[in-house]
Amino acid sequence: MILLQETAPGKLNLTLDILGVRPDSYHELEMVMVSVSLCDTLSLELETGEPWTVVCNVPGIPDGPDNLCWKAAQIYFDAAGTDPKGLRIQVEKRIPAQAGMAGGSSDAAAVLRALNRHFGRFSDEALRGLGLRVGSDVPYCLFGGVALAKGRGEILTRLPSLPDKLCFLLAKPSFSVSTPALFREIDAVGVSARPDTTAMCRAIASGDCGAIGGCLQNAFEPLVAARYPAVETLRQAMLAHGARGARLTGTGSVVFGLFDDSTAAQTARDALRGICPTVHLCTAIS
């Protein structure tokens, strides 16, 4: 039996803009993304001689072909023209699910990375192509770090690392949002909050935490915040406790705050615990 292990970092959207609907009915996006230290860990056993299975420490995660890890492995072995003769994927989840942090996509990317490290069949670019067949966020999750993502999310440009000391506070409210439903809704009402992506790229290049915080923006936030007051409550609480900026990530429901350092973020975390039971501190990884 072969055992492979891999970590799957979560992601945050420093910006998210929706530029239009594409002929394939996906949306043309422009996003600045960052990988964070809050991660899932995966173990893959090959040649188990048993039917495929996905096991997860968190209830409610699909354990069959609907699981993105399973889908990624299926796509990898189909493309490679090989059979692992049994596969068991074990996922230890820490990234909140349905949170806008690409937890499922990052797990799928980790499966592709682990398999390709072992079998070495595909270039990085070809692997991202396989990832796109699993989901729009998977190519970025393979690419990792600070990046500008365009197209469906698969056209990726590397950006400079964020300042070393910078720290994120994540707060996960209890609601969750359907991504396809939210895309349909924004098509109907239009984008009202548009990030200045160029200014964000400039702020990142300058390494100025305050400038980066000032450029955080997410086109989905007004819609989600109008329905769920917790978004604005958490944002205001983070700003009142020293955040340089605070936003929804992806389609939510995680709200994150950006802090100069871990001391500032810890103070805010202690203050937020009273209003949100699920809070995490994490750093950017490049």
- How many residues line the site for ligand C5P (CB under 6 A)? 11
Give, as ranges, the residues between 137 and 156 that touch ligand C5P (CB under 6 A): 137, 152-153
Reading the block at residue 218, the tokens are 């997410």
Q: Which one among 23, 49, 60, 180 touches ligand C5P, defined by CB under 6 A?
A: 180
Q: Give the nearer residue to ligand C5P in terms of CB position, either 31 or 243.
A: 31
Is residue 110 a contact partner of residue 134, using CB atoms and an 8 Å limit? Answer: no
Q: Which one among 103, 135, 250, 252 touches ligand C5P, defined by CB under 6 A?
A: 135
Q: Which residues pair with 149 in a beta bridge?
A: 31, 156
Window of 35-43, 176-184, 201-209, 254-262 that interacts with ligand C5P by CB under 6 A: 176-184
* Euclidean distance between the first and the last CA atom of the chain, given in angstroms as a whole number: 33
Identity of the residue numbered 180:
P
Least Å distance between CB 193 and ligand C5P? 18
State how far the alpha carbon of 144 is from the alpha carbons of 7, 74, 77, 176, in Å: 12, 22, 23, 25
Q: Does 170 bind ligand C5P (CB under 6 A)?
A: no
Cis peptide before 253 (omega within 30 of 0): yes
Q: What dihedral do alpha carbons 43, 44, 50, 51 form, nearest 10°?
A: 100
Compute the half-sphere exposure of residue 59: CA atoms within 13 Å on the CB side of its CA: 0
Q: Give the nearer residue to ligand C5P in terms of CB position, either 2 or 26.
A: 26
Reading the block at residue 102, the tokens are 């690409």
Least Å distance between CB 53 and ligand C5P? 23
Q: Give the nearer residue to ligand C5P in terms of CB position, either 4 or 193.
A: 193
Q: Let me know if 137 is a catalytic residue.
A: yes
Q: Which one among 15, 136, 217, 218 touches ligand C5P, defined by CB under 6 A?
A: 136
Reading the block at residue 8, the tokens are 């799957």
Q: Give the nearer residue to ligand C5P in terms of CB position, either 23 or 120.
A: 23
Q: Let me know if 187 is a catalytic residue.
A: no
Reading the block at residue 196, the tokens are 């200045």
Helix axes 262-272, 230-240, angle to 10 degrees: 130
Least Å distance between CB 262 and ligand C5P? 32
Window of 24-32, 111-119, 193-201, 266-274 that interacts with ligand C5P by CB under 6 A: 24-32
Window of 4-12, 21-29, 31-39, 192-200 that interacts with ligand C5P by CB under 6 A: 21-29
For every residue of 84-100, DSSP letters joined together read -SSEEEEEE--SPTTSS
Catalytic residue positions, numbered: 11, 137
Q: Please report, as ranges, the residues that interact with ligand C5P according to CB under 6 A.
A: 26-27, 29, 135-137, 152-153, 179-180, 183
